A and B are shown apart, each in its own frame.
Chain A
Amino acid sequence: MKRAENKSPEAPIDRRELMRRAVYMVGGAAALAGLEGCSGAEGNVQPQTRGSAGRYFSAIRMDQLRAVIDVMIPATDTPGAIAAGVPEFMDDMMRDWASAETRSQMKAVLDQIDERAIRVGGRSFRRLAPEHQLAVLEGYDAHSFEVWNADYQRFKDLVLLGYYHSEIGATQELRFELIPGRWDACVPLGDMRTWAD
Chain B
Amino acid sequence: MDFDAIVVGSGISGGWAAKELCEQGFKTLVIERGQHVQHGADYQDFRNLWELDNRGRMPEDVLDEDYEIQRQCYAFNTANQHLFVKDSDHPYETPEGRPFNWLRGYHLGGRSLLWARHSYRWSEMDFEANLRDGHGIDWPIRYADIAPWYDYVERFAGISGSYEGLDHVPDGQFLPAMDLNCVESAVKEKIEEAYPGRKLLMGRIAHLTEPTEEQKELGRGQCQFRNLCYRGCSYGAYFSSLSATLPAAERTGNLTIVTDAIGHSVIYDPATGRASGVRVVDYNTKEGRTYTAKVVFLCASAIGSTHMMLNSISEQFPNGIANSSGALGRYLMDHVSGFGVSGTMPGFADKYYAGKRPGGIYVPRFRNLPGQTPETDFVRGYGFQGGGARADWRRGTYQAGVGAELKERLRTPGPWSFGFSIFGEMLPRAENRITLSRNTDKWGIPLPHIDCTLGDNDLKLAARALEDATEMLETAGVVQLRTRAEPAPPGHGIHEMGSARMGRNPRESVLNRWNQAHDVPNLFVTDGACMTSSACQNPSLTYMALTARAARHAGELMKEGIV
Q: Is B253 located at the chain interface by the 8 A CB criterion?
A: no
B23-31, B241-249, B393-401, B426-434: which one contacts chain A? B393-401
B226/A6 in contact, CB under 8 A: no
Quote the shortest CB–CB distance from B104 to chain A (angstroms): 13
A162/B182 in contact, CB under 8 A: no
Q: Is A134 located at the chain interface by the 8 A CB criterion?
A: yes
A54-62, A117-125, A172-180: which one contacts chain B? A172-180
Interface flags, A176-197, vs B, CB<8A=1, else 0? 1111111111111100111111
Contact partners of A188 in chain B: CB under 8 A: 350-352
Interface flags, A114-134, vs B, CB<8A=1, else 0? 000000000000000000001
Q: Is B144 located at the chain interface by the 8 A CB criterion?
A: no
B59-67, B462-470, B528-536: which one contacts chain A? B59-67
Q: Is B438 located at the chain interface by the 8 A CB criterion?
A: no
Known: A43-B50, A72-B402, A162-B55. A189 touches B397 (CB 8 A): no
CA distance A195 to B226 in the complex (A): 12
Q: Is A74 located at the chain interface by the 8 A CB criterion?
A: yes
CA distance A135 to B551 in the complex (A): 71
Q: Which residue of B lies closest to A168 (CB)?
A: B50
Contact partners of B390 in chain A: CB under 8 A: 194
Q: Is B406 located at the chain interface by the 8 A CB criterion?
A: yes
A186/B49 in contact, CB under 8 A: no
Q: Which residue of B lies closest to A195 (CB)?
A: B392
Q: Is B168 located at the chain interface by the 8 A CB criterion?
A: no
B300-308, B408-416, B538-546: which one contacts chain A? B408-416
Specify which of A8, A74, A137, A167 is in contact with B79 (CB 8 Å cutoff): A8
CA distance A21 to B43 in the complex (A): 11
Secondary structure at chain B's binding surface: helix, strand, loop or mixed?
Answer: loop
B259/A1 in contact, CB under 8 A: yes
Quote the shortest CB–CB distance from A64 to chain B (angstroms): 16
Quote the shortest CB–CB distance from A76 to chain B (angstroms): 5
CA distance A195 to B394 in the complex (A): 11
A151-179 interface with B by 8 A CB criterion: 153, 156-157, 160-162, 164-167, 170, 173-174, 176-179
CA distance A25 to B46 in the complex (A): 10
A161/B55 in contact, CB under 8 A: yes
A170/B397 in contact, CB under 8 A: no
Q: Is B443 located at the chain interface by the 8 A CB criterion?
A: no
Q: Is B162 located at the chain interface by the 8 A CB criterion?
A: no
Q: Which residue of A lies closest to B409 (CB)?
A: A194
CA distance A176 to B355 in the complex (A): 10
Query: In the complex, which range does the number of interface residues on chain B fall in?
Result: 35 or more
Q: Is A3 located at the chain interface by the 8 A CB criterion?
A: yes
Contact partners of B519 in chain A: CB under 8 A: none
B400/A187 in contact, CB under 8 A: no
B406/A73 in contact, CB under 8 A: yes
Q: Which residue of A lies closest to B44 (CB)?
A: A8
CA distance A192 to B394 in the complex (A): 17
Q: Is A20 located at the chain interface by the 8 A CB criterion?
A: yes
Q: Is B234 located at the chain interface by the 8 A CB criterion?
A: yes
CA distance A161 to B54 in the complex (A): 10
CA distance A183 to B49 in the complex (A): 20
Contact partners of A138 in chain B: CB under 8 A: 402-403
B81/A8 in contact, CB under 8 A: yes
CA distance A43 to B48 in the complex (A): 11
Contact partners of A5 in chain B: CB under 8 A: 86
B224/A93 in contact, CB under 8 A: no
Q: Is A65 located at the chain interface by the 8 A CB criterion?
A: no
A170/B49 in contact, CB under 8 A: yes
Q: 6 shortest A-B CB distances, which residue pairs? A: A185-B179, A180-B355, A99-B60, A186-B182, A183-B355, A184-B354
Residues in chain B within 8 A of chain A (CB atoms) = 35-36, 40-41, 44, 46-51, 53-61, 64, 78-79, 81-82, 86, 178-182, 185, 224-226, 234-235, 259-260, 283-284, 349-357, 390, 392-394, 396-404, 406-408, 410-414
Residues in chain A within 8 A of chain B (CB atoms) = 1-3, 5-9, 13, 17, 20-21, 24-25, 28, 43, 71-74, 76, 78, 80, 89, 92-93, 96-99, 101-102, 134, 137-138, 141-142, 144-145, 153, 156-157, 160-162, 164-167, 170, 173-174, 176-189, 192-197
| 7 contacts across the A-B interface (CB closer than 8 A) | A93-B57, A99-B60, A183-B354, A185-B178, A185-B353, A186-B182, A193-B412
Q: A74-B404, A183-B225, A194-B411 are in contact. List 11 more A-B contacts (CB 8 A).
A: A1-B260, A5-B86, A8-B82, A80-B407, A96-B53, A141-B401, A160-B394, A164-B393, A185-B180, A189-B352, A194-B410
